[in-house]
């Protein structure tokens, strides 16, 4: 990320460059490139890197990378750009110039191949597949100079932190061994349990919440992070957990996205990534523990951040508390299975939420959000969330 006089100079230069519009997903990727979240990437992937990542989860150089980081545009825009020239990248939502880019290659990706390999489906009902299919037909590759953090620092002051800032915070707290808890949902009792299991064996837990765009029906970041903040304040020991956010949109890529989460948590300073049921999944596209198994398929040394795998978690009425398949001997009828989708469905319908499902202070925040919605999105239970 450019700073000071270099930033001011590049912003002036960018005003006279040809412009390429970037989507919300691409804006988030740009911010991660700029703040070091995607280190060692320096820009958007070439055709060789794109293909190698899709097929083998590694860059052409052999370095592990699980998901393509690409920039697309339409054919007329691509045809007008000369290789080796610079362009200004403009946030299509805000109209802000967020980066400049030296265009080193133009290529047409095989979208079907990307969907099959990364998402394990070509079904356009999958939100990640729909995102890829909606992209332009031409990818632009090249190094970038990032000029803006996309409004995240302003919108989420004190919550949006760069990798350098989280590492500094861990050092100040004396945390040498940190576990990351990934979430795109408010934390219900199962999430609370996972984080507390990690606290038992680590110096602290980073509750790392996605701040970018989600699919319809998911709870937006400002509401989610308020609910998480209340939970951490009321039900966690001080200085065992901290909340932060990162600027990506959700891809819903299941196992591949779990690997990406672990990879960029290396840059944020985390030794472990908590991996529960159906991490980064959607619907019934992935098995409940595919994101566990994918880590076992990696070559030695591919990732420094290690998975902290935790089994099915639930409230057991006979145990009288939260438990997992590894700790609870009781029958399914004694268990209340928890999921973010179930919680959203109950709240969206105004139904009663069992006390064993979520803390009352969290529910107060979420009920206020749903009561203020002008238009409700129907939540459908499918896959593991329907159990």
Note whether 192 and 359 are within 8 A (CB).
yes
Active-site positions read: 184-185
Whole-structure pTM value: 0.93
Cα–Cα distance for residue pair 264/207, rounded to 1 Å: 14
Under 8 Å between Cβ of 257 and 251: yes
Quote the tokens at residue 218.
């998911």
Domains and CATH numbers, the chain: 4-150 (3.10.400.10), 155-386 (3.40.50.620)
The secondary structure of 59-111 as a DSSP string is: -TTS-B--S---EEE-HHHHHTPPTT-EEEEEETTT--EEEEEE--EEE---H
Per-residue pLDDT of the chain (387 residues; tens, 9 = 90+): 899 999 999 999 999 999 999 999 999 999 999 999 999 999 999 999 999 999 999 999 999 999 999 999 999 999 999 999 999 999 998 999 999 999 999 999 999 999 999 999 999 999 999 999 999 999 999 999 999 999 999 999 999 999 999 999 999 999 999 999 999 989 999 999 999 999 999 999 999 999 999 888 788 999 999 999 999 999 999 999 999 999 999 999 999 999 999 999 999 999 999 999 999 999 899 999 999 999 999 999 999 999 999 988 999 999 999 999 999 999 999 999 887 778 888 888 888 888 899 999 999 999 999 988 876 655 555 555 444
């Amino acid at each position: 990320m450019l700073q000071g006089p270099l930033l001011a100079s590049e912003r002036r230069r960018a005003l006279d460059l040809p412009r390429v519009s970037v989507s919300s997903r691409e804006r988030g990727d740009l911010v991660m490139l700029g703040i070091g979240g995607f280190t060692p990437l320096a820009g958007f992937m070439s055709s060789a890197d794109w293909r190698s990542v899709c097929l083998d989860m590694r860059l052409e150089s052999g370095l592990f990378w699980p998901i393509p980081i690409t920039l697309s545009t339409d054919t007329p825009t691509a045809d007008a750009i000369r290789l080796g020239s610079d362009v200004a990248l403009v946030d299509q939502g805000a109209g802000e110039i967020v980066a400049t880019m030296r265009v080193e290659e133009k290529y047409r990706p095989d979208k079907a191949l990307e969907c099959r390999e990364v998402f394990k489906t070509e079904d356009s009902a999958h939100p990640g597949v729909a995102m890829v299919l909606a992209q332009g037909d031409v990818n632009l590759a090249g190094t970038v100079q990032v000029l803006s953090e996309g409004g995240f620092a302003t919108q989420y002051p004190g919550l949006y932190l760069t990798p350098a800032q989280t590492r500094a915070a861990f050092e100040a707290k004396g945390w040498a061994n940190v576990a990351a808890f990934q979430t795109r949902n408010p934390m219900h009792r199962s999430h609370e349990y996972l984080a507390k299991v990690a606290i038992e064996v680590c110096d602290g837990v980073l509750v790392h919440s996605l701040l970018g765009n989600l699919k319809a029906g998911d709870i937006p970041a400002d509401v989610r992070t308020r609910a998480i903040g209340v939970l951490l304040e009321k039900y966690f020991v001080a200085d065992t957990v901290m909340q932060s956010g990162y600027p990506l949109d959700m891809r819903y890529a299941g196992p591949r996205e779990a690997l990406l989460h672990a990879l960029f948590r290396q840059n944020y300073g985390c030794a472990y990534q908590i991996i529960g049921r159906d991490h980064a999944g959607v619907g019934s596209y992935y098995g409940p523990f595919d994101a566990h198994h994918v880590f076992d398929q990696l070559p030695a040394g591919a990732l420094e951040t290690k998975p902290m795998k935790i089994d099915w978690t639930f409230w057991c009425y006979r145990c009288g508390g939260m438990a997992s398949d590894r700790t609870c001997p009781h029958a399914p009828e004694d268990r209340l299975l928890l999921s973010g989708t179930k919680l959203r469905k109950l709240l969206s319908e105004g139904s009663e939420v069992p006390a064993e499902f979520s803390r009352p202070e969290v529910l107060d925040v979420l009920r206020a959000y749903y009561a203020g919605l002008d238009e409700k999105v129907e939540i459908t239970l499918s896959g593991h969330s329907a159990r």
